[in-house]
Structure 1
Amino acid sequence: MRRAVSVLVTACVIGVTATACSDSTGASTGAAPTGSVDATASLKGVKLTMWVAQNSVNEPKQAIEAFEKATGATITTEVIPDPYESNVPTKLASGVKPDLMFWQPTGSTLPFIQPEKNLLQLDNEDWVAKLGKTEQSLGQVDGHRYAAIVTSPAVLGVYYNKAVFAKAGITKMPGSYDEMLTDAKTIKSKTGVAPFFEVGGDKWPLQWQVQAQMTDLPQTFWDNLNKNKDSWTNKTIVDAITKYKTKLLDGGLAQKNYKTATFVDQGKAIMDGTAAMALNVTALQSEIQASHSTEEMDKTIGWFPIANSAANAEYSPDQTNGVVAFNTGNTKRQTAARQFMSYWLGEDYPAYIKANKLVSVEPSVPNPDGLPQTAIAQAKALSSATGVFQVNALTAPDMHLALADMIYGKKTPEQVAQAAEDQFKQVLKARGVSGF
Structure 2
Amino acid sequence: MKKRFSAVLALGAVAALTLAGCSDPGSGGDSGSAPAEWPAQDADLSGTTLTIWAAQNSNTVPDSVVAGFEELTGAKVDVVTIPDPYEQSIQTKVATGDKPDLAFWQPTASQLTALNAKTNLQSLDDAPWLDAYTPELRDITGILDDTRYATLITTPAVEGVYYNKQVFADAGITTTPGNWDEFLQVARDLKADGVTPFFDFGGGTPWATQWWVQVQLADAAADGLWDRVNANEETFTDPTIQGAIDTYQGLIEEGLFNENLKTATFEDQGPALLSGDAAMAVQVNSFFGQLQSLADTEELNEKIGFFPISPSGNVGTFIPDQSNALVAFKTGDAKREAGARQLLSYWLGDGYQDFVNAQSTVSLQSDVDSSADVPQALLDVSASLSDSVGSMQALAVANPDLYLNLGDMIQGTKTAVEVAEATQAQFAELAKAIGTPGF
Q: What does residue 238 of structure 1 align with?
A: 242
RMSD: 1.6
1:373 has 2:370 as partner: no
Query: Cα offset for 1:23?
Result: 9.5
8 A Cα contact 2:163 2:304, kept in partner? yes
Structure 1 unaligned segments of length 5 or more: list them.
none
1:228 aligned to which of 210, 217, 232: 232
Query: Cα offset for 1:7?
Result: 5.7
Q: What does residue 156 of structure 1 align with?
A: 159
Query: Cα offset for 1:2?
Result: 3.7
Q: What does residue 9 of structure 2 align with?
A: 10
2:428 aligned to which of 415, 425, 433: 425
Q: What does residue 75 of structure 1 align with?
A: 77
Query: Cα offset for 1:297?
Result: 0.5
1:228-377 equivalences in 2 (<5 Å)? 228-246=232-250, 248-377=251-380
Deviations 1:18-53 (A, max 9, x none): 341359634153426344421011111100111111
Query: Cα offset for 1:220?
Result: 3.3
Q: What amino acid sits opposite 1:94 in the alignment? A: T
* TM-score of the superposed pair, with normalisation by structure 1: 0.95
Q: What amino acid sits opposite 1:288 in the alignment? A: L
8 A Cα contact 1:148 1:323, kept in partner? yes
* TM-score of the superposed pair, with normalisation by structure 2: 0.95
8 A Cα contact 2:200 2:209, kept in partner? yes
Query: Cα offset for 1:325?
Result: 0.8
Deviations 1:359-382 (A, max 9, x none): 111122121212111011111111
1:20-419 equivalences in 2 (<5 Å)? 20-21=17-18, 25=22, 26-28=24-26, 29=28, 30=30, 31=33, 33-132=35-134, 133-190=136-193, 192-201=194-203, 202-217=205-220, 218-246=222-250, 248-419=251-422
Q: What amino acid sits opposite 2:10 in the alignment? A: A
CA distance in 2, matches of 1:189, 1:173: 18
Deviations 1:79-120 (A, max 9, x none): 111111111111111111111100000011111111110111
Query: Cα offset for 1:59?
Result: 1.1
CA distance in 2, matches of 1:71, 1:352: 17
Query: Cα offset for 1:425?
Result: 0.8
Query: Cα offset for 1:412?
Result: 1.2
Counterpart secondary structure, 1:89? helix
Query: Cα offset for 1:17?
Result: 7.3
Query: Cα offset for 1:236?
Result: 1.1
Counterpart secondary structure, 2:125? coil
CA distance in 2, matches of 1:178, 1:396: 28
Deviations 1:101-152 (A, max 9, x none): 0000001111111111011111011012222323422111111111121111
Q: What amino acid sits opposite 2:356 in the alignment? A: I
8 A Cα contact 2:271 2:294, kept in partner? no
Counterpart secondary structure, 1:175? coil
Mean alpha-carbon deviation: is it higher for 154-163 or for 130-139?
130-139
Q: CA 1:18–1:392 in 2, change beyond 3 Å: closer, same or farther? A: closer
Mean alpha-carbon deviation: is it higher for 20-29 or for 313-322?
20-29
Mean alpha-carbon deviation: is it higher for 78-87 or for 341-350?
78-87
Q: CA 1:321–1:55 in 2, change beyond 3 Å: closer, same or farther? A: same
8 A Cα contact 2:318 2:388, kept in partner? yes
8 A Cα contact 2:52 2:100, kept in partner? yes
8 A Cα contact 1:197 1:277, kept in partner? yes
Query: Cα offset for 1:417?
Result: 0.9
CA distance in 2, matches of 1:377, 1:23: 43
CA distance in 2, matches of 1:423, 1:17: 14
Q: What amino acid sits opposite 1:225 in the alignment? A: V
Q: CA 1:107–1:261 in 2, change beyond 3 Å: closer, same or farther? A: same
Q: What amino acid sits opposite 2:111 in the alignment? A: T
CA distance in 2, matches of 1:169, 1:158: 18
CA distance in 1, matches of 2:78, 2:401: 32
8 A Cα contact 1:33 1:122, kept in partner? no
Q: CA 1:32–1:77 in 2, change beyond 3 Å: closer, same or farther? A: farther
CA distance in 2, matches of 1:269, 1:418: 33
Percent of residue pairs bearing the same amino acid type? 42
Q: What amino acid sits opposite 2:113 in the alignment? A: P
Counterpart secondary structure, 2:428? helix
